[in-house]
């Protein structure tokens, strides 16, 4: 509150006088069309996967979540280079077919394209999970009334799937507002880049906080709309598995081609492009520096994920025995961080830790610590920010897992007179362990990919993989970012394979 009331610097006023309207306009356009295209792609994939049988269905079921392993800013770097005049693709076209193609993707349309590729898995994963539990009785009843497959899709499946679609779209919206790397590289004026510019370029924390507060109001408006549209329809509790309809050879071929195309542009092509970059630059890579970057990133991801899971386990377990307002407060506070863009959290954490360091300055002097910003310039700030940002991922997964356990298990355990702490780990903890591991994997992946917090809070002696990729991109050394990109994507790929195995065994 103190920083909000403080005046901004004279040279920072241009961000409000000249760019504020552009921030609103660009952010709104990117957000609307990213949600539109991501949702359309996700509905198409989830519907045909859930209701139809075709060749390679299980293969596509796995590979179509792999874009989750590639951050949006990496998509932006890859496709900007792919469509550039000197890319291997354009060189091949010129040499083999004498074709000269100029396609400028570094604009608002390109940002929508890369965000749609990066964020459709958020809607797709939630929607296919919902459709997997869809009752065959509803479909059979509609068919008995003479409804066609098209009518059933638009009049029954889509309306009943609205809660899952809206939930996925809201996650997509939060990620779009949170994104910094792609708009910054494409030279777009949006709120996330404005906040970064106010703090890094103009060194004006007060201006950054004012922009963050405006963006926060945009987020709260989106959450209000999401709450209105997410109201579910009532569905019969008795569900029977759907028997998937076999597609004709022509229809199956068309679906396989379309699914293959989406897989190619959203995962396979980016990975191929990274490998081509790495082939060009592997002799120039400083592998000792890469090891330190990887070690820093894995340390932050591991420590933050473990802290999140400890807090989430405590909150989710106690949430079961709360009722009314207390339950709502715990749930709201736990989920609040993920709704707030990383740039906003970063600025708030900076303001908080600067105040803490000012208060603790006499203590630092007593212990001979000469750094007045001891905590602000330490990894503690980043870990704290990650915990605030991603607590919701751990809480929601564990809350769902604990709610599936009968309360009688806990009461029976406590009635035996055993140590409550140790007996918890022998019973409930073991029962929710698969969900705990799944939540850990999702949190770890999100922290690995996270850029806005790292770009604003990482110090010069404690950089991360995402921070280094952004630095190389800013210096137009795209081939050099291939090594950290490979470490990140390969790690995320392995974790997604483990995540998929856990889900399939549930």
Residue 197 has pLDDT above 80, yes or no: yes
Residue 67 has pLDDT above 90, yes or no: yes
Q: What is the pLDDT, as a whole number, of residue 417?
A: 66
Residue 4 has pLDDT above 60, yes or no: no
* Total residue count of the chain as it appears in this document: 506
Q: Average pLDDT of the chain?
A: 85
CA 422 to chain CA centroid, nearest Å: 35
Residue 237 has pLDDT above 50, yes or no: no
**Phi and psi dihedrals of 107, rounded to 5?**
-150, -170
Q: What is the pLDDT, as a whole number, of residue 326?
A: 64
Residue 127 has pLDDT above 60, yes or no: yes
Residue 449: pLDDT band by 50, 70, 90 thresholds? very high
Of the listed ranges 83-97, 111-125, 305-319, 325-339, the least confidently predicted one is 325-339
Query: Which is more confidently placed, 214 or 411?
Result: 214
How far apart are alpha carbons 365 and 399 in whole angstroms? 44
Q: What is the pLDDT, as a whole number, of residue 1?
A: 45
C-beta of residue 121 within 8 angstroms of C-beta of residue 68 = yes
Residue 11: pLDDT band by 50, 70, 90 thresholds? low
pLDDT in tens, 134-188: 877 888 888 888 888 888 888 888 888 888 888 888 889 889 988 889 999 999 9
Question: DSSP state, 12?
Answer: G
Cβ count within 10 A of residue 277: 22
Residue 35 has pLDDT above 50, yes or no: yes
**Phi and psi dihedrals of 52, rounded to 5?**
-135, 150
The strand pair at 52-53 and 245-246 is best described as parallel
All structural domains of the chain, each given as residue ranges with its CATH number in brackets, are: 31-189+230-281 (1.10.3720), 285-506 (1.10.3720.10)
**Phi and psi dihedrals of 245, rounded to 5?**
-80, 135
SS3 148: coil
SS3 133: coil
Which residues touch 388 (CB under 8 Å, ≥6 apart)?
A: 337, 345, 349
Q: What is the pLDDT, as a whole number, of residue 15?
A: 72
- Token couple for 16: 């409000």
C-beta of residue 314 within 8 angstroms of C-beta of residue 398 = no
pLDDT in tens, 465-476: 999 999 999 898
Of 113, 116, 97, 117, residue with least CA distance to 105:
113
- The whole model's pTM is what? 0.88
Residue 409 has pLDDT above 80, yes or no: no
Which residues touch 460 (CB under 8 Å, ≥6 apart)?
A: none
Average pLDDT over residues 439-456: 91
Upper half-sphere CA count for residue 31 (Cβ side, 13 Å): 20
pLDDT in tens, 284-331: 999 999 999 999 999 999 999 999 999 988 888 877 766 666 666 766
How far apart are alpha carbons 212 and 225 in whole angstroms? 20
How far apart are alpha carbons 93 and 91 in whole angstroms? 5
Alpha helix (H) ranges present in 282-419?
287-319, 325-339, 342-359, 361-366, 379-403, 407-415
Which residues touch 497 (CB under 8 Å, ≥6 apart)?
A: none
Q: What is the pLDDT, as a whole number, of residue 34?
A: 96
């Amino acid at each position: 509150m103190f920083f909000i009331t403080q005046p901004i610097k004279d040279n920072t006023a241009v961000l409000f006088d000249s760019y504020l309207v552009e921030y609103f306009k660009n952010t709104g356009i990117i957000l609307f069309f990213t949600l539109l295209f991501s949702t359309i792609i996700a509905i198409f994939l989830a519907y045909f996967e859930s209701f139809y049988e075709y060749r390679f269905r299980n293969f596509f079921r796995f590979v179509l979540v792999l874009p989750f392993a590639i951050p949006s800013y990496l998509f932006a770097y890859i496709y900007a280079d792919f469509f550039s005049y000197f890319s291997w693709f354009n060189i091949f076209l010129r040499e083999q077919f004498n074709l000269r193609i100029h396609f400028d993707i570094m604009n608002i349309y390109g940002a929508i394209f890369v965000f749609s590729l990066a964020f459709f898995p958020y809607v797709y994963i939630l929607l296919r999970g919902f459709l997997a539990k869809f009752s065959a009785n509803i479909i059979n009843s509609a068919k008995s009334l003479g409804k066609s497959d098209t009518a059933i899709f638009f009049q029954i499946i889509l309306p009943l799937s609205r809660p899952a679609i809206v939930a996925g779209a809201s996650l997509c919206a939060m990620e779009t507002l949170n994104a910094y790397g792609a708009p910054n590289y494409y030279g777009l004026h949006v709120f996330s880049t404005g906040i970064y510019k106010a703090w890094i370029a103009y060194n004006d924390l007060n201006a950054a906080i004012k922009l963050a507060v405006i963006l926060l109001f945009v987020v709260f408006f989106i959450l209000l709309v999401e709450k209105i549209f997410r109201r579910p329809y009532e569905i019969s509790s008795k569900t029977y598995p759907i028997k998937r309809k076999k597609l004709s050879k022509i229809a199956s071929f068309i679906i396989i081609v379309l699914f293959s195309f989406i897989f190619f542009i959203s995962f396979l092509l980016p990975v191929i492009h990274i490998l081509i970059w790495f082939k060009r630059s592997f002799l120039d890579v400083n592998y000792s520096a890469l090891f330190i970057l990887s070690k820093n990133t894995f340390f932050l991801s591991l420590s933050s994920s473990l802290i999140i899971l400890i807090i989430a386990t405590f909150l989710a377990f106690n949430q079961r025995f709360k009722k009314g307002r207390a339950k709502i407060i715990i749930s709201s506070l736990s989920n609040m961080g993920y709704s707030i863009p990383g740039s906003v959290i970063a600025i708030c954490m900076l303001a908080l830790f600067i105040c803490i360091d000012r208060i603790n300055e006499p203590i630092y002097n007593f212990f001979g610590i000469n750094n007045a910003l001891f905590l602000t310039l330490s990894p503690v700030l980043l870990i704290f920010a990650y915990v605030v940002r991603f607590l919701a991922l751990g809480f929601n997964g564990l809350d769902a897992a604990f709610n599936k356990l009968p309360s009688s298990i806990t009461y029976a355990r406590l009635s035996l007179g055993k140590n409550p702490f140790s007996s918890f780990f022998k019973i409930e903890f073991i029962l929710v362990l698969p969900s705990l591991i799944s939540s850990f994997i999702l949190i770890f992946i999100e922290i690995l990919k996270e850029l806005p917090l790292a770009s604003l809070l990482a110090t010069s002696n404690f950089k991360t993989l995402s921070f280094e990729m952004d630095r190389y991109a800013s210096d137009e050394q795209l081939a050099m970012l291939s090594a950290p990109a490979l470490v990140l994507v390969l790690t995320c790929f392995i974790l997604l394979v483990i995540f998929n195995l856990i889900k399939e065994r549930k």
